[in-house]
A and B are shown apart, each in its own frame.
Chain A
């Protein structure tokens, strides 16, 4: 669980060189804090979230609220003071550094055509990885590629939602290994919107969906390979893989920041 969050204080007091906040998002509203100053802030190597807002106290701006956004290729390499001794205006809250994902996430998302009684949603919950350095550093980490492996699925269509924030490349390969029946796969790119999809029967959610692979039927032993790139297909918050298969149908997905 993401809350209660680990405290940066312990890492600083024990002489660690950094505080690493690595956590799956508990909700789309996750916000984390540190009462420790630092020499640099960056997105860590395991982060699915691409854009993280860092808020800190600044004497010379209105309400003392200063923000910067860090991303896998754009760290903040400079001292940030937590300023616990002063207060933000107008709330009067003590100074501290705050972090939150600038990217949107919606655990209630269901793709168009989802059938409540038979289909299933499976989310790879996005991880946020932020590192606060307590000493100056020469080099900051790069975000790693992510690999996902799936093989067996629920009855109906299983929709697997894979984080794709800021990624530029995806390789997906599926092979139908069921002995008799065909398998199907479709791939959708999603950009989340702020929308009320908290219960069924509401108006159509505002999320944007792009079909990247129309439903394809795979006979026994048949294979489908799909490459998605930012240049050719655009950028998405998540990729949704809708798979139906009675038996094993190995699906390998690799996402990367490099095309």
Chain B
């Protein structure tokens, strides 16, 4: 598994990192831990945070419904959602629609829950 140094790198490494979790039967738990930890970082009242909240909702739902071992199609979906969520977070940070600490939190939580064996 590879720690990501940026949100763009985190996005690009999503498939490789989640595959390790998948092979170790840790994918559902890791996704739920990640998503539940991201939730308090963004507030529903802040419309600019909605794109990240939306991705987190979609990812969290997927993770919570997975049963070990998840099908390979679910690995693909999860990787795609994480890929898109990281890109979206990066884009909102670039446009200063969310704060740098919020974006840093997503990257940190990604490395904590999705990029560690």
> Which A positions have Cβ atoms within 8 angstroms of B?
1, 3-4, 26-33, 55, 62-63, 65, 88-91, 93-94, 96, 98, 100, 108, 193-199
Contact = CB atoms under 8 A, between A and B. Distances in A.
A91 B12 contact: no
B91 A27 contact: yes
A90 B6 contact: no
B91 A91 contact: no
Nearest to A94: B44
A93 B12 contact: no
Contact of A29 (B4, B36, B88): B88
Contact of B48 (A3, A29, A63, A195): A3
B97 to A, nearest CB: 6
B97 A31 contact: no
Contact of B95 (A3, A96, A194): A3
Contact of B91 (A3, A196, A199): A3
A93 B83 contact: no
A29 B95 contact: no
Contacts of A65: 57-58, 61
Interface residues on B, range: 35 or more
Contacts of A4: 47-48, 97
Contacts of A32: 51
A90 B88 contact: no
Interface string B38-62: 0100001001101101111110110
Interface in B34-92: 35-36, 39, 44, 47-48, 50-51, 53-58, 60-61, 64-65, 79-80, 83-92
Nearest to A101: B84
**Top 3 closest pairs, chain A to chain B, by CB:** A196-B12, A29-B87, A29-B88
Given A28-B11, A30-B51, A31-B84, 14 more contacts: A27-B88, A29-B51, A29-B84, A29-B89, A29-B90, A29-B91, A30-B84, A31-B51, A63-B65, A89-B64, A91-B57, A93-B54, A98-B54, A196-B16
A196 B83 contact: no
Nearest to A93: B57
6 contacts: A26-B95, A28-B11, A29-B83, A31-B54, A33-B54, A196-B11
Contacts of B44: 93-94
